[in-house]
A and B are shown apart, each in its own frame.
Chain A
Amino acid sequence: MLDILKDAAAHNGLVTAFAVVGLVVLLSGQISKRLTFGRVHGSAIAIVIGLALAYWGGIKTGGHKGLADLSLFGGIGLMGGAMLRDFAIVATAFEVQATEARKAGLVGVVALLLGTVLPFIVGAGIAYSFGYSDAVSMTTIGAGAVTYIVGPVTGAAIGATPDVMALSIATGLVKAIIVMVGTPIAARFLALKTPRSAMVFGGLAGTVSGVSAGLAATDRKLVPYGALVATFHTGLGCLLGPSILFFTTKALVG
C-alpha cells in the first residue's frame, strides 16, 4: 500500500513537487500568521524550510542537490532547477514598468560593477590572510565571493586546484544563503522600497538565487526589477574574473 503510494509519487515527480512545495508554503503561511503575527513574511519562512530540507536531504544521501537527491522528491530538482526558475523570473518581467526600469538604468550598471569588484576584493583579501597567497587561489576564492557560478568558471579557466574550487563554490553558496535569509531582515537598512532600490540591490547583492529569493521574501513586487539586473551578474563575473581581475591580482601579488 505504502509502496504503491511511494511509486506513484516517484513516477510523477513534478506533480509531487507541486504538492510538497504547496504544503511547505501553506505551513509557512500559518507559521507567519500564528507565530510571528505577520512580522516575518511567509515566503521567508518557506525559503528557510526549503534550505533546512535541503540540508536534511544532503545529510541523508550525501549528494549535492539537497532534497532533490531523494528519489521521492526528484521532481523538486525540476521545479526549482534553472529552467523553470528562469522561466518564472522572465514571467515576472511582465509586471515591470518600463519607465521605472529605464530611470534606474545607469545606477543599475554601476551597482553591477561594484557588486562584482567589491566582493572579489574582500574574498581575495580574506583568502590571502588565510594563507592562500598565490594569484590563482586568491582569484578563484574572490570570484566565488561574487557568485557560486563565477567561482568555478573562473577557477577552471585559470587552473585552480580542486580544493580551492570547492572552497570557492562554498563561499558563493554561503553568500547566496545569507542574502536569501538576510534580505527581509535587513530590508529597512537597505532602504528596499522602490524599483530603483531593488535594481541597486540586484546589482550589488549578486547571485540570482539569493536576490530572487531575498526579494520574494521582502516584497514580491520588487522581484522583477532586482532579477533584471542580477541576471547580468554571473555573466559579468565570468567575463571579468579570469581576465581583468586575475591579471590585476597577479600584478599585485606576483
Chain B
Amino acid sequence: MIIYGTALLAVCHLLGIFIGDLLGQALGVKTNVGGVGIAMLLLICARLYMQKTDKLPKLSELGVEYWGAMYIPVVVAMAAQQDMVAALRGGPVAVLSAIAAVALCAVVIAVINRTERPADATASTPMPHDNPLLTDAE
C-alpha cells in the first residue's frame, strides 16, 4: 500500500523533529537542533534495513518517492513567500554583509571541493532511484 511509504516518511519526520527538539532543550538553545537531518538519517536507516529484510515493496517506495519528487514545486512555493520587501529594504549593511559572507564561503567551498580526488568524483555518480518515470519527470 502506498500509504505505508508515506506513513514511514511521516514517522521518521516526526521522530527526527522530536529528537531535534529534545537536543535543543538539552543544549539550552530555544530551537530545534538538526531535526530534519536526524529525520533524514532515520529514513536512510529504515530503507537500508527494510531492503535487507525484503519488507519494502515498490508501491510503498512510491509513497516516499512522490514527496521527494514534489520537492522542487515546494521550494518554488517557499520562494514565493519570502519577505523580499524586507530583504531589499535592509539597506547597505544587510546587502554588503550578505554578499561578503556568501563570497567568502563560495571561495572556501571551491577550495575544499578542489581537494577531492578525481577518482572519487568519477566513482560516485549518485543514483537517485530506480523508477524511470520519476527520473524522466525531473
Q: A160 to nearest B CB, angstroms? A: 14
User: Cα distance A172–B43 when bound, in Å?
Assistant: 30
Chain A residue numbers with a CB within 8 Å of B75 are 43, 47, 80, 85, 88, 209, 212-213, 216
Question: Number of B residues contacting the other chain (C-beta, 8 Å)?
Answer: 83
Chain B residue numbers with a CB within 8 Å of A189 are 106, 110
A96 and B40 in contact (CB under 8 A), knowing A166-B86, A179-B102? yes
Chain B residue numbers with a CB within 8 Å of A84 are 74, 77
Chain B residue numbers with a CB within 8 Å of A85 are 74-75, 78
Q: Are the C-beta atoms of B80 and A80 separated by less than 8 Å?
A: yes
Chain A residue numbers with a CB within 8 Å of B94 are 144, 167, 170-171, 173-174
Within 8 Å by CB of B113, from A90, A180, A190, lies: A190
Give the residue name and chain of the A residue nearest to B138 (CB): A220
Chain A residue numbers with a CB within 8 Å of B64 are 91, 94
Residue pairs across A and B with CB atoms within 8 Å: the count is: 348
Q: A106 to nearest B CB, angstroms? A: 12
Q: B71 to nearest A CB, angstroms? A: 4
Chain A residues 179-227 with CB under 8 Å of chain B are: 179-180, 182, 186, 189-197, 200-201, 204-206, 208-209, 212-213, 216, 220-225, 227
Chain A residue numbers with a CB within 8 Å of B30 are 153, 157, 238
Q: Are the C-beta atoms of A227 and B93 separated by less than 8 Å?
A: no
User: Cα distance A231–B32 when bound, in Å?
Assistant: 10
Q: Does A54 sit at the interface, judged by CB under 8 A?
A: yes
Chain B residue numbers with a CB within 8 Å of A166 are 86, 90
Q: Are the C-beta atoms of B36 and A51 separated by less than 8 Å?
A: no
A122 and B104 in contact (CB under 8 A), knowing A91-B9, A91-B64, A234-B31? yes
Q: Which 4 A-B pairs have the closest CB atoms?
A: A170-B90, A80-B77, A50-B79, A235-B33
Residues of B within 8 A of A (CB): 9-10, 12-13, 16-17, 20, 23-24, 27, 29-37, 39-41, 43-44, 47-48, 61, 64-68, 70-102, 104-106, 108-110, 112-114, 116, 120-121, 124, 126-129, 138
| Supplied contacts A47-B76, A90-B43, 18 more A-B pairs, CB within 8 Å | A66-B84, A80-B75, A84-B74, A87-B13, A91-B66, A91-B70, A118-B101, A119-B102, A126-B93, A166-B86, A189-B110, A191-B113, A195-B126, A197-B116, A200-B112, A204-B108, A204-B112, A231-B36
